[in-house]
Structure 1
Amino acid sequence: MTALTISNAQARALWLSAHGLATPPTGKLDAPQIIRDLGFVQLDSIQIVSRAHHHIMWSRNANYREPMMDRLLGKQRAVFEHFTHDASVLPMEFLPMWQRQFTRMREKISRSGWWGKIDPGLLSSVKARVAEEGPLCTRDFEHVQSGPKEMWQRPPHKRALDFLWFSGELATCHREGFTKHYDLAERVFPAHLREQKVPDEQQIDWLSRAALHRIGFGTQGEIRKFWDATTVAETARWAEGASDLVPVEVEAAGGGTFKALAAPDIEARLEALQAPTSRLRILNPFDPAIRDRTRLRRLFGFDYTVEMFVPAEKRQWGYYVFPLLEGSRLVGRLEAKADRKAGTLTVMNRWTEPGVRPSQARDDKLDAELARLCRLANLETVQHL
């Protein structure tokens, strides 16, 4: 079968459309549908302006506000929390297709020397407390720290809670601030979803097709890494047996092409393709459209690294830098920080990408977007240093 050729301009437009960034973030808000369309939204505790999951949602619809995610999780049970490539929220209706991930994570942790030995007695006692007392957070367990605390170190009760959470025996019931409260999975997950038994191969097929649907086109590695819930071999077997996938040659930003697989409806997507909105967007560093840095560089020619774990003296840009998207180009970077007590959003630095000409129109667009970002974070004014 001859591969379909996708130009770089088409690839960018397809990519942004698949990730909900091709149209203005306006209109009636349907937060569950945004998560459903994306597949998942990554959670992150760092709050420089607004936490990643809030920012990602707001980038798709500017009517989104921070308290909405807690309602989707706690009161409405519209989403559940678990691990894709990182901690994320997923639509609750995906739960039957996530059973293998609970098993995979339990086995992975059990084999991990980094995690440490799991005490079965501690697991039983922690789960028994949750069963008897109801939702608990890590602060409800006593622990005396001995010796210096190392980065990422978990006390025994926290490791037990997380092991049971990764295994699907406990689930996030709700959050207070960003503090996770754990409850028995059967008291959080609807029975009709939790009790469904889906064959493993059917889960692999669903996961792979759902990933490809949400990215439009990608290599086998990119399809697999979307959820990070299948192995390399499982994805390869699926791709070999899926006769309706479309082989494509995608033009890269720097010239040349790369081979990929596309969704069965790729030709219809190409025919319906429209130019992305020219509105300027401030993207979160963990936005799903840009989180794969290799793919980002290949499609957009944008070299981007999150430098929060890079020593300050070695950073090229800054601790938390937001990419700026305009149309189908990443035109710059922004370093900004919120002071919620003072009600201010402070812009410390702004950089323009090579080949992008400064313009008053773009400055005006950025000012408008900063004002909108203030509303998300409940801030009042923008301050430029």
Structure 2
Amino acid sequence: MRGAVVAAQQIPTPAGPNTYADAAEVLAGIGLIQLDPLTRVSTAARLTSLTRLSRKHTAGDVDPALWPHGAPASFEAFTKVACLFPLSDWPLLRLRREAAQQRHGHKLDPTVTGRIRDLVAAHPGGVGTGVIEAEFGPERTAGWHWSQVKKATELMVRMGDLVVTARDGVVRLFDLPERALPEPIRRAEQLPADELRAALACRAAASMAVMTVTDFAHHYHLSRDDAALGIELAELVAVRVEGWRETAYALPETLEQTHDAGTGPAGHARLVGPFDPLLRDRRRALRIFGFDYRFEAYVPRAERIYGHYVMGVLSGAELVGRADLQRVDGTLQMNQIWTEAGVPKRSTDARARGAHRTLAAQLGVDPI
């Protein structure tokens, strides 16, 4: 089962051929990349993409592929947190946008939203938060404090009144869906609701290989009822996994495939970021890999069990250890390596160091 889960993510050996030509293909393949701006090692989007690309691909290639000039490749939306989705999946999230409209629509002042739309319409290619805020007055977003205009703009994104398909550097650009999205994408949004529910379940099953109702609900931040209905409509195959309380589900073709398990050669190990699809659902990572992960960047130093920015060490189909890393003055510094129970320390150290060298090469820095 671990082999199937890892195989669904199409993670290549560092120097070998890979399924994906660039980060946009990674996104199209796995369906969702969680966003996080912390750059102690690199951004979450870059780390997730680089783990699925060979050593020849660099961090500098990632953002231009995910947010290309010209035809968009992605859009930003929320599950419970900010995520990036392939543009082709815009229709699949229509029901989530409708639910957001029902839940939050009454909170918005039509006069404010009308002014925001007019301002966005006047800027071909989209406009950043700062320009929108400047139209309304002195209040500005600072860190976790969002201005009222910022809150309104983000709700409009959640409801589908605005869309983010491009960036200017790190600045997200808000645009009109009718201008930013290709006509075929917008037409597909009108498919019957049950077709969208089934398609979303199939998309999640292809990415996760084996999933419970809870897994599916967490992945897209759905209610359990909606997740269960989607799985039923998709006619996924029920699977009993030893030790799991819930029934799991998979696509029929997943069950027909065989996947290698075990740790694999030491030189094939990769580092997995804290927001990677293999780790972002902490309970699922524990259930599948026996890997108990807690992100400690916001935990006081004295209370950390491991470190500030810890990445998993993936070798074959096993998470064999974890490593605390940081980028400092043109280097990728390995602060400490921890070995998972039952794994020889020497083996984990060799795998972590090899994965460290791979990531350093992709980031264009020296490993130390």
The answer (yes or no) to whether the contact 2:2–2:261 under 8 Å persists in 1 is no
User: Quick one: structure 1 residues 80 and 247, their matched pair in 2 at CA, closer, same or farther if it must change by over 3 Å?
Assistant: same
| Alpha-carbon distance between aligned partners in 2 of 1:329 and 1:213, rounded to the nearest angstrom | 20
The runs of 5 or more residues in structure 1 that have no matched partner are: 1-10, 112-116
1:116-265 map, 5 Å: 117-134=107-124, 135-140=126-131, 141-142=133-134, 143-145=137-139, 152-196=144-188, 197-228=190-221, 230-240=222-232, 244-252=235-243, 259-265=247-253
Conserved? CA contact 1:57–1:64, under 8 Å: no
Q: Which residue of 2 aligns with 1:371?
A: 357
Show the counterpart of 1:343: 330
TM-aligned CA deviation for residue 198 of structure 1: 0.9
- Offset of 1:258 from its aligned partner? 5.4
Contact 2:50 2:57 in 1 (8 A): yes
Deviation, 1:176, is: 2.7
2: CA distance between counterparts of 1:223 and 1:72? Answer: 24
Deviations 1:98-155 (A, max 9, x none): 22222223333447xxxxx433222111111111133211222335359xx9963210
Tell me how far apart the structure 1 counterparts of residues 246 and 164 of structure 2 sit (CA, whole Å): 40
Distance 1:82 1:70, change over 3 A: farther
* Change beyond 3 A, Cα 1:181–1:343: same
Superposition RMSD in Å: 2.5
Is 1:105 matched with 2:110?
no
Distance 2:184 2:160 in 1: 16
| Shift of residue 51, structure 1, vs aligned partner | 0.7
Q: Deviation at 1:364?
A: 4.1
Match 1:40 to one of 18, 32, 41: 32
Q: Measure how far apart 1:188 and its partner are.
A: 1.1
Q: Is 1:30 paired with 2:21?
A: yes
Q: Which amino acid is the alignment partner of residue 378 of structure 1?
A: G
* Counterpart pick for 2:84 among 85, 89, 98: 89
1:308 lines up with 2:297 in the alignment: yes
Relative to structure 1, the CA distance from residue 34 to residue 74 in structure 2 (aligned partners, 3 Å threshold; closer, same or farther) is closer
Instruction: Tell me, in whole angstroms, the C-alpha distance in 2 between the residues paired with 1:313 and 1:105.
Output: 40
CA distance in 2, matches of 1:96, 1:297: 32
1:58 pairs, out of 50, 53, 73, with 50
Are the structure 2 counterparts of residues 68 and 300 from structure 1 closer, same or farther at C-alpha, using a change threshold of 3 Å? closer
Opposite residue 18 of structure 1, the aligned amino acid is A
1:287 partnered with 2:305: no
TM-superposed deviation, 1:362: 4.8
Q: Which amino acid aligns with 1:124?
A: G
* Structure 1 pair 302–362 and aligned structure 2 pair: CA distance change class (3 A): closer
Identify which of 67, 70, 75 aligns with 1:80.
75
User: Which residue pairs with 1:12 in the alignment?
Assistant: 2
> In the superposition, relative to structure 1, how do residues 283 and 213 fare at CA in structure 2: closer, same or farther (>3 Å)?
same
SS of the residue corresponding to residue 338 of structure 2 reads strand
Tell me: CA distance 1:90–1:237, structure 2 relative to 1, closer, same or farther (3 Å): closer
Aligned to 1:355: 342
Find the residue that maps to 2:335 and give its secondary structure. Answer: strand
CA distance change for structure 1 residues 210 and 53 in 2, over 3 Å: closer, same or farther? Answer: same
Distance 2:139 2:118 in 1: 24
**Distance of aligned partners of 1:101 and 1:232 in 2 relative to their CA distance in 1, 3 Å threshold:** same
Residue 121 of structure 1 aligns to a residue in which SS? helix
- The alignment's TM-score, normalised by the length of structure 1, stands at 0.83
For residue 305 of structure 1, report the CA deviation from its aligned partner: 0.7
TM-score (norm 2): 0.87
In structure 2, distance between residues paired with 1:314 and 1:294: 21
Given residue 370 of structure 1, which amino acid in structure 2 is its aligned partner? H
Amino acid at match of 1:375: A
Pair 1:369–1:258, CA change in 2 (3 A): same
In structure 1, C-alpha distance between the alignment counterparts of 2:331 and 2:44, rounded to whole Å: 19
**Aligned-partner Cα distance in 2 for 1:296–1:184:** 37
Q: How far apart, in 2, do the equivalents of 1:129 and 1:267 lie?
A: 51
Query: What letter corresponds to residue 128 of structure 1 in structure 2?
Result: D
* C-alpha spacing 1:234/1:174, structure 2 compared with 1 (3 Å): closer
